[in-house]
Structure 1
Amino acid sequence: MEAAKGRRTSSNLLLRITDICKVHSVGVAENVGGKPKGDSIGGSSEDGAHLKVHPHLVSDHESCTGSSTARYEEAVVEKLLDAISCLKLAYVKVQQAHVPYDPEKIAVAGEHFASELEGTSGLKDLYVGVNKWSNPMYRSHVSSKIHEHQKLVVELQADICKKDSELVLLRAELEELERSNMSLKEKIDQRAMYREKKFDIGRGESIDMFIKLFESSSECIHDFTKLIVGWMKLSGWDLTITKFPIDKSVVYEKRSHKKYGIEAYFAHAMLMGTKEEYFSMDSYDHVMSFKDPFDALMEAPNSAFGRFCRDKYLVAVPRIMEDSFFGNLDHRAFVERGGHPRTQFYHTFARMARYVWALRTVARYLKPRAEMFFVKTGVQFQRRHMESVSTKLTNDEAKICVGFTVMPGFKIGCSVIRCKVYLSMLDARDF
């Protein structure tokens, strides 16, 4: 079968060469004897009929032992025959363009012929390549080059593995440094608070004192949120997809604005849903007299302020958050047993909790009583009751509405302490 296939292939090649050798000419001649001549191209169909084809019979040994180089040479010959056929047709079109004489057709046909000729000449490189690979010396040279490059690849791969190991160690060192920096930052913040805060808010109940407490509470919630965001980034939280209940339907103007949603979550958790028995003016002056709120907790762990701290920690800091930050739930377990952990994290939380506790206590005993209010999502923005935390407002406030409340406001009789809100461009409804 293989020998027969080789003979058919050789015969086909010879037949194609014979067909290509037929020369076509185009000319104009007068009719002789009233008998029109056939088409010049069709008339040439008999050209080369006298040629004899002597096919070379391929032996069984030759057909079975054909190498890849021989097959490649045969492919080159096939391409060459195709190219010569195309070149032949292109030349015929050049001749036809002269009869009748048409300069435009001549130019087009000439360009086509030149293109075919260029393609045919390109087959030379293919044939040279065949000859190179048939040379054992060339194959040996290429093989040695391949071996050298493979050896280099192995060396580079080993170097990459070494660099990866170094990168893992450096990343671990970086994480440890970031944790140390965060701990130092917490200590610096605490010392700065001792220097700057004199706790001279005063005794008794007054609107001025309440406004100072509101500002201090808002500032402490904001600072605690910054600490939480830092821990979340360090623990691998993706803030772009993390949603808190307060902001689940909001599209942020900037990625960095996600912090306002987290701040709103903690403000809501700290200010809402607390037992009234936790707020008493009898212990207010004593708790606020300590420079460090943690000292007040250590002196009276089960005081109204101490119970408020424990309840709010369990509500505000979810299990999944604490576990991702510290790798355990030791803080929660200690708080549930009635204690207050001696850690920088809980220390910062206690600082925030004291101002919130003081704010709620004074709000309860003010005359008239301070009433807290939140603004619902979609409500039209109003300067009298609201303050934006991010957006620079324009004159066209009718198109601006509330995305969510970051820090609630308070109404004290006819006086209003504006709430802080995050704005969006949704359709607004009346307040």
Structure 2
Amino acid sequence: MDSVDRRAVTPRKSRWTHTFAKVLHMNRALTGVSSKSHDKVKQDRISQDSKSFEEEDGDEEKLRHRMVMEAFLAKLFASIATVKAAYAQMQFSQSPYDAGGIQAADQRVVLELKNLSQLKQCYRKNQLDESSPEKTQLVAELQEQKSLLKTYEMMGKKLDSQLKLRESEIMFLKEKLEETNRENKLIERRLNSSGLLSVPSHLHLSSLCPDHFISALSQTIKSVRQFIRWMMNEMELAGWDLYLAAEAIEPGVDYLDLNHRYFAFESFVFKEMFDGFNFPNFSLPNESLPEQQKQRHFFFDRFTELKPVKTREYLARKPKSMFAGFCSTKYFRLVHPKMESSLFGNFNQRNLLNAGEFPETNFFTSFSEMAKRVWLLHCLALSFEPQVSIFQVGKRSRFSEVYMESVSKEAFMLTKTEPSVAFTVVPGFKIGKTIVQCQVYLS
């Protein structure tokens, strides 16, 4: 058996032992470092958790403080709303006077003012109620809404009271207006029945001057316009569309104001009533005229004969006169059969005129008074030397301040270009060298 060489084995074993010891030493070193790092991480986590808990506690404290403040403000606003509601009730109870309501509202105001004072002291001393802030806030908001509802209720009652007062005033004013209208109509009837013109009663043919004619013309225009208002009122009562009627009279007119369509009715009535004005007796037949030299006296005598007499009396006394024929002729031209039927539901007035009689209706009375003034103006015009002549201007004529007067002053302010004549409303007259301007509507 061979012997083992110790020198060959021992060095190799020694190397393995040395290597293992070295590795073991390194492992211990690493284990020590790892243990220290773990302890440090653990301490950091504990520190962070502690800070997190502290922050959460701080947030909860802030949130609770905020809720307490919101509850306090809710109580404050609720108390203010209650004061406003009580004050509104106090105002409402003053008219009509309600002693109980005023006393109750006063007590409520005093109570809430005390409550506001207590809230002020609590805020200054920082002694706010921190128990159940959510419930406190909800109760306060409910109280505020109830107070607001009470305030609106008082305001509604006050407005209802004011509305009733206004309605009462409106009824009173309507009654006053109706009474005034009745008085005005009575005065108009008295004026119409008087048949008087603002011309001197002791007027002589030799003393005639343009002022006499202008004065008579002014009264005639007033009478015509009174009849037009009466006629338009009857048309409205009968359900007429006055705007369509005005369009039929003067089609295609660009009115500056819808109310200006009234001038179309004026134009129609003046045109019909003054048609034939330049001719003796308006060219009515069945009467011979004196020779030219005596015609001035003839028409002036007619003027002085008719002027002081009431229209109805004159027509009853002289139903065959030229004036009576003038009334009938102009009525037939002015009032169409369909218009008469629409306004009055019959043809009674037309039938009476055809029979040589004269209606006693208010409408015909107003018409006959207008006709009388036109007839008198005609007789007065033929009494002048030279005779008075009538004129009107055509559509689209240029405006002339010498011969024309605008019935609407807005025409010069509302139109960018120079306005032109849409139609003649009231004719103009020439009295020798004196010009009485015609009245025109411009557009």
Q: TM-score range by the shorter chain?
A: 0.5 to 0.7
1:215 equivalent to 2:218? Answer yes
Matched with 2:231 is 228
Q: What RMSD, in angstroms, separates the aligned Cα atoms of the two structures? A: 2.9
Q: Report what 2:342 is aligned to.
A: 324
Structure 1 alignment gaps of length 5 or more:
1-177, 425-431
Match of 2:367?
Answer: 349
Secondary structure at the aligned position of 1:399 is classed as: coil
In structure 1, the partner of 2:435 is: 416
Look up the SS of the partner of 1:410 in the other structure: strand
CA deviation string 1:152-184 (max 9, x = no partner): xxxxxxxxxxxxxxxxxxxxxxxxxx9999888
- Residue 424 (structure 2) pairs with residue 405 (structure 1): yes
Residues 119-143 of structure 1 deviation map (CA, whole Å, 9 limit, x = unaligned): xxxxxxxxxxxxxxxxxxxxxxxxx
Q: Which of the residues 250, 253, 260 maps onto 2:253?
A: 250
| Aligned counterpart, 2:188 | 189
Offset from partner CA, 1:209-262 (integer Å, 9 cap, x none): 211121111111111111111111111001121246651231222221111100
Q: Which has the higher helix share?
A: 2
Structure 1 345/179 Cα, relative in aligned 2: closer, same or farther at 3 Å?
Answer: farther
Is the partner of 1:259 in helix, strand or coil? Answer: helix
Which structure has the greater CA radius of gyration? 2
SS at match of 2:356: coil
> CA distance change for structure 1 residues 206 and 298 in 2, over 3 Å: closer, same or farther?
farther
In structure 2, do the counterparts of structure 1 residues 185 and 303 end up closer, same or farther at CA, with 3 Å as the change threshold? same
C-alpha distance in structure 1 between counterparts of 2:326 and 2:195, whole Å: 25
For 1:263 and 1:294, locate their aligned partners in 2 and report how far apart those are by CA, in whole Å.
Answer: 25
Preserved contact between residue 264 and residue 406 of structure 1 (Cα < 8 Å): yes
Summarize deviations over 1:56-88 as a string: whole Å, max 9, x none: xxxxxxxxxxxxxxxxxxxxxxxxxxxxxxxxx
Within-5 A mapping of 1:255-334: 255-273=258-276, 274-275=282-283, 280-290=299-309, 292-334=310-352
Paired letter, 2:371: A
Instruction: Please tell me whether the aligned partners of residues 225 and 259 of structure 1 are also in contact (alpha carbons under 8 angstroms).
Output: no
Shift of 1:373: 0.5
Distance in 2 separating the partners of 1:310 and 1:301: 10
TM-score when normalising by structure 1: 0.52
User: Which one of 363, 368, 392 corresponds to residue 381 of structure 2?
Assistant: 363
Give the TM-score normalised by structure 2. Answer: 0.51
Unaligned regions of 5+ residues in structure 2, if any?
Answer: 1-176, 277-281, 288-297
Instruction: Give per-residue Cα distances to partners, 1:316-337, cap 9 Å, x unaligned.
Output: 1111211111101111111111
Cα distance per residue 1:66-113 (max 9 Å; x no partner): xxxxxxxxxxxxxxxxxxxxxxxxxxxxxxxxxxxxxxxxxxxxxxxx
Percent identical among aligned pairs is 29
Deviation at 1:282, TM superposition (A): 3.0
For the Cα contact (< 8 Å) 2:210–2:434, is it kept in 1?
no
Higher relative contact order (CA 8 A, sep 6+): 2
Q: Determine helix, strand or coil for the equivalent of 2:366.
A: helix
Question: Counterparts of 1:358 and 1:418 in 2: how far apart (Å)?
Answer: 20
Residue identity opposite 1:280 in structure 2: F
Please name the residue that 2:56 is paired with: none
The secondary structure found in structure 1 opposite 2:397 is coil
Structure 1 residues 134-153: aligned runs within 5 Å: none
- The one-character-per-residue Cα deviations of 1:362-410 (angstroms, maximum 9, x if unpaired) are 2223111111101111011111111111233548896111110011001
